[in-house]
Structure 1
């Protein structure tokens, strides 16, 4: 059974390990290998502890857990782009431990993010995804997100990779919709 809850400081090491392993797994063959190899869970955890020490509540971090074991992490908050509609939110990140992909942890996280974003007053939720990340794009599409035509380039060790933006409306019954569409 996957539960979703607000992340605490005690989750930082697990979340950092999930983020780094998630990047190394999801982006292998897409992002330059040297960039992925240089990622460090302890360094990520140190940055995350600094962020937690100065948390303003603007970003909400959620974790999925199976009992006491953290299996995934997601973060959302206000949209950071200049072209946002009033009140737009953004899914900044969502990662599940690679060995837990397909177990429902991702569906539980995206459902909770959608419901909580609606509760926070975001009428829409946007996200950016690497264009070549087919697995993630399928996941988002099953959760009701659609590409809106916006693109940008991100620099990874002097290799520019194309990202596409997805959007979906947030609603109070979003958790059920995401669960049903992603199964």
Structure 2
């Protein structure tokens, strides 16, 4: 398998939308109520969101495997929690068939390098408490649960945990 990680371009928006929608179907079907998850599975709406993010010069990386768009990571050098010099990783998603094959590690390594270059000393992310697979991945990459929890906005109120990595 040949992986490539690069900054997303406007013409990648459709592929990014497909990755995020299909990964939500795989990763969150047992976490988010089915009647609510449907709102997040609209590929056309997601494509428009990514087009705007790319036009606004947000940090979005596309990962390909043998030239097939397979994963993404979306981050920002500024977080919305007032954490000093701490970048935020908002999304890291892969199509299910690429889980556990090394692409997520390549995406994570690259986004951390970019956040470092942007002057960040730490990176934060939120993960559902019940998403053990994702939590294990983050912990393997050095992220530590900092004790901060919040209830998600979904009706079943799944708990989200904040993880921090010193970079």
Q: Shorter-chain-normalised TM-score: which range?
A: over 0.9
State TM-score, norm by structure 1: 0.85
For 1:7, the equivalent position in structure 2 comes to 8
**Runs of 4 or more consecutive aligned structure 1 residues displaced over 6 Å after TM superposition:** none
Give 1:49 deviation, angstroms.
Answer: 2.0
Q: Cα deviations across residues 39-80 of structure 1 (Å, max 9, x unaligned)? A: 211121122223334x1x3x3101111243211000111111
Q: What does 1:37-116 align with in structure 2 at a 5 Å threshold?
A: 37-38=38-39, 39-53=41-55, 55=56, 57=57, 59-77=58-76, 78-82=78-82, 84-85=83-84, 87-116=85-114
Q: Cα deviations across residues 14-54 of structure 1 (Å, max 9, x unaligned)? A: 1111101111111111111112233211121122223334x
Question: CA contact under 8 A between 2:54 and 2:60: conserved in structure 1?
Answer: no
Gaps of 5+ in 1: 171-183
2:127 to 111, 126, 129: 129
Corresponding residue SS for 2:114: helix
Corresponding residue SS for 1:155: coil
Paired residues in the alignment total 164
For 2:30, the equivalent position in structure 1 comes to 29
Measured on the aligned residues, the alpha-carbon RMSD in Å equals: 1.3
Question: CA contact under 8 A between 2:79 and 2:86: conserved in structure 1?
Answer: yes
For 1:174, the equivalent position in structure 2 comes to none
Aligned mates of 2:25, 2:4 — CA distance in 1: 25
Question: CA contact under 8 A between 1:24 and 1:37: conserved in structure 2?
Answer: no
Aligned mates of 2:94, 2:53 — CA distance in 1: 21
State TM-score, norm by structure 2: 0.93
For 2:164, the equivalent position in structure 1 comes to 167
Gaps of 5+ in 2: none
